Amino acid sequence: MTLNQSQHNCQNLSNLGAELVFTQDVLGNYHSFYWRWQNIISECSTISELSSVIDSEETKLFPLVKDTYFERIKRVLTRKIPEQCHCILCYETYSLCFELIISPILLPSGEAELVLVMGRVLRDAKNISPNSSLFPTNPDIYQQLLTNIARKIRRTLDLETIWQQTVDSIGEGLQVNRCLLLAPTDKDGYLEIKAEYCEPYYNSLLGYRFNFHNYEEIKEAILFRRPTSVELEGKTASQALSVLLVPTFYQQEFNGIIALHQCDRHRLWNQAELELVQELADQVGTAIAHATIYQKLEQANKEAEEASRLKSEFLASTSHELRTPLNGILGFLRLVLDDMADDAEEERQFIDQAYNSALHLLNLINDILDIAKIEAGKLEFELETISFNKICEDIDKFAHTQRKNKDLYFNIDLPSTYDQILLYADYQRLLQVMLNLVSNSLKFTHEGGIDITAEIIPKKVTFQNITLPGMLKINVADTGIGVSLEKQDKLFETFYQVDGSRTKTYGGTGLGLAISKRLIEAMGGKISFYSMGESLGSTVTLTVPLSQLPVLKTD
């Protein structure tokens, strides 16, 4: 194409209302050029005088910020998508702000080597800063973008979908390199990147967590509830040069941040963009709040259904457990009343069996009452200095008959001290926990035995505003039937039983560990369960505050 042909084609396009029309390659070379500028600068200038622009090595008409301008040219050629922007062009001593439309010229092969640039001077833009050289301008485009995004996020109550649709729509609509949605975590002061729009060749930040109190710009955005721009050097993991932070709220409560990253250039966010993201943030904040409420309701419904199911199973199991000893009591007493015993010794055996069944029934009822009191917050404790050595003596007496009948070993190994190990706890409640743990071990162990060990942890703790010198760590380990790894997390839940059939085989309501956990925590300690798996034994570990540090013996 000759220079005259190029000018002729550009002049035809200028009839569409453009004051400036030219074609250009990625290096900035003009391939055709037309500028109807005589009414703007002076009557003496003509097109023929500007024809030398094409032929000169250094054009007389050039963008004020060249790097940013040519990055946009390159992007249009790569994406093959037109872009609209403002750009300050310089000519001799003049700096004029143009509204430009940059479009790729597609070859038959589908590739693009040139762009067609059409523009008009913004006559009311005399005070535009040189730094604002390139930015989208058409308010209709913004309104359409806002409407599209709002429509998408209103169609769902799925929180993750709202997050992802938000970043995808903003990222593509505002042509940023990365757009993030950050949400507060359960840990106070921390944010997590929940959704990400990211162009190729830039690092993904999805899932990254950090304490926002370490970032003044984020705190400022949240405090003043407005978009906050940040200029960086691009040397961080985000690779960002310009960042826009937009907080989201619902009824004065902060619930997220939309972060826009421009990594390929520095970018000045214009007023239209700021208004767009602010209005969008308001809608996103509301959508997030509604989805969160819906999510919590769904979770609450699931938990209520699960609790109802577990309680139903518990009641069925408990009814069976209560009926069994009750039937035993009635049966043995009926034998006595009907003179079915052969002699006085057998009659005494019937009465003993009825008595033992009554004790079992009483223990079951006490477990149920304890759970009810714990859940109602009415269980009382008498915290005082108690002897752990005395508790171990009681446990040894309790386990003697059963472990002897099953031919199991039973070892208690305490730290070697000159004085007794004194704890700050409720004696009866701690004894109740230890008896429950030992009873479980005896019940579920058929070979081997049980080891009880203790360790002094001399690290000060504070419980109920009282400073105590340390903790006693207690392990109750057995070689019993064990528990599979996937079921261990639920062992301490109220109404949960590992295996209903197993419970029927061994007896019990499955409340023991749930009660033990609440009792130990109420006394300032912790309890945990570990097993390598079924048939591999188990270990329960609990801690209890020390009333004073014992004097350890040294070899």
Residue 25: burial class (beta carbons within 10 Å; 0-12, 13-18, 19+): middle
Q: What is the pTM of this model?
A: 0.46
| pLDDT, tens only, 90-107 | 776 666 778 888 999 999
434 touches 395 (CB < 8 A): yes
Q: Where are the alpha helices (DSSP H) in 445-547?
A: 500-506, 512-522
Query: 380-545 is classed in which CATH architecture?
Result: 2-Layer Sandwich (3.30)
Cβ–Cβ under 8 Å, residues 3 and 51: yes
The two domains 3-134 and 140-297 share their CATH topology (first three levels equal): yes
What pLDDT score was predicted for residue 44?
A: 35
What would the pLDDT profile of 112-139 be if each residue is shown by its tens digit?
999 999 888 876 544 344 434 344 445 5
5-14, 363-372, 498-507, 514-523 — which one is most confidently predicted on average? 514-523
Q: Where are the domains of the chain?
A: 3-134, 140-297, 380-545
Q: Enter the CATH code of domain 140-297.
A: 3.30.450.40
257 phi/psi in degrees, rounded to 5? -140, 130
CA dist 342 → 242, 255, 352, 356, 385 (Å): 97, 78, 16, 21, 52
How far apart are the C-alpha atoms of 95 and 109, rounded to whole Å? 38
Helix (H) or strand (E) holding 98: strand 94-106
> Residue 159 corresponds to which tokens in the numbers above?
């929180």
Alpha carbon 542 to chain centroid, angstroms: 29
CATH of the domain spanning 3-134: 3.30.450.20
546: pLDDT strictly greater than 70: yes
Residue 257's pLDDT band (boundaries 50, 70, 90)?
Answer: very high
pLDDT at position 408:
95
User: pLDDT tens digits, residue range 436-472?
Assistant: 999 999 999 999 999 999 999 999 999 999 999 999 9
Widest distance between CA atoms in the chain = 138
**Model confidence at 404: pLDDT above 50:** yes
